[in-house]
Amino acid sequence: MTTQFESAVIADLERLVPMVESALLAPLFDFEAPILQEAARYSLEAGGKRVRPVLCLLAAESADKSAETALSCAIALEYIHTYSLIHDDLPAMDDDDLRRGKPTNHKVFGEGQAILAGDGFLTEAFGILAGAAKLTSEQKVQAIQTLSEAAGWRGMVGGQSLDLEGENLVKEGKPYDYARLQLIHRLKTGALLRASLELGAIAAGADGGIRSALREAGAALGLAFQIRDDILDATSDSETMGKRVGKDEGKNKITYPKLLGLDGAAKALEDTTERAVGLLAPLPNPSSLIAWARFLSVRAN
């Protein structure tokens, strides 16, 4: 049975993913390092749901501007996400051999080239924003500042560091509470989803109230996304997910289901989704993002 919001999400994907895909590979031309180019292309073409770029484009539309306005922001976000996956999969980090049903970047190209491919995506993301044809200099600077904050020490990279450290706390039997889990996910997953909606607002030239609503709704969506991820890891199988599951169990990771139980995690997911919906409702054109909020809370992979 397809619900109304699932149909809306599928329609958005059919409309916006081709726009993202068509712009994603362009920065890969004109290259003097062929193996690096191949490694970068491999990870871009590995598929993925393009959730962050699509949310960024929808955020621009929710503020009554065209999706095209935010396309450079969307590509920069997918580059940051792609870099983070390549580095997270490395043996020194999550040590994953499989991503989206395919061997991870370092399994194909070696660890050195994989680290460099990630470094390259991260660097190019900021170059893409600086070169964005549809943004004013002021908008470019705001987008770069927002993305740097979300991706760096105070955002995604900080969250990943705390997560690595947390595995050691658990191994050593040290306390690990709900506040710490929330902090890690606010930084590790939440910050980039928050930035996805905020960059859409910046590209749309939205006023402070709309920008702030999209930013906070993005933070709530990020948290909901992570809770759903933890629930899926605890209850799904590798074939559905296209990656190894049950891995949190084996790796001393603290998850929402472990800390709150499956019912408690489901309740936290529901509350967070409703918070996002409440923030989105007053926007000029909120229906797509609201459908996405509901969809992300029940997605199956």
Q: Which residues bind a second copy (CB under 8 A)?
A: 27-28, 30-33, 35-37, 40, 83, 87, 90-93, 110-113, 115-116, 118-120, 122-124, 126-127, 129-131, 136-138, 140-142, 144-145, 148-149, 151-154, 157-162, 164-165, 183, 187
Closest to a second copy by CB, 129 or 210: 129
Closest contact distance (angstroms) between CB of 85 and a second copy is 13
Full DSSP string of 245-299? -SHHHHTT---HHHHHHHHHHHHHHHHHHHHHHHHHTTSSS-HHHHHHHHHHTT-
Cβ atoms of residues 230 and 265 within 8 Å = yes
Closest approach of a second copy to the CB of residue 173, in Å: 19
- Residue closer to a second copy, measured from CB, 76 or 277: 76
Question: Please, which residue, 16 or 187, has the CB nearer to a second copy?
Answer: 187
Give the list of residues 6+ apart from residue 256 with CB closer than 8 angstroms, or none.
Answer: 181, 226, 227, 230, 231, 264, 265, 268, 269
As a 3-state breakdown, the chain gives helix, strand, coil percent values, each rounded to 5, of 75, 0, 25
Closer CB to a second copy, 13 or 28, in the complex: 28
Q: Which is nearer to a second copy, 116 or 231 (CB)?
A: 116
How many of the other CB atoms lie within 10 Å of CB of 88?
A: 18
Least distance (Å) between residue 246 CB and a second copy = 21
Contact call for residues 186 and 223 (beta carbons, < 8 A): yes
The minimum distance between CB 267 and a second copy, in angstroms, equals 26
| Minimum separation from the CB atom of position 73 to a second copy (A) | 14
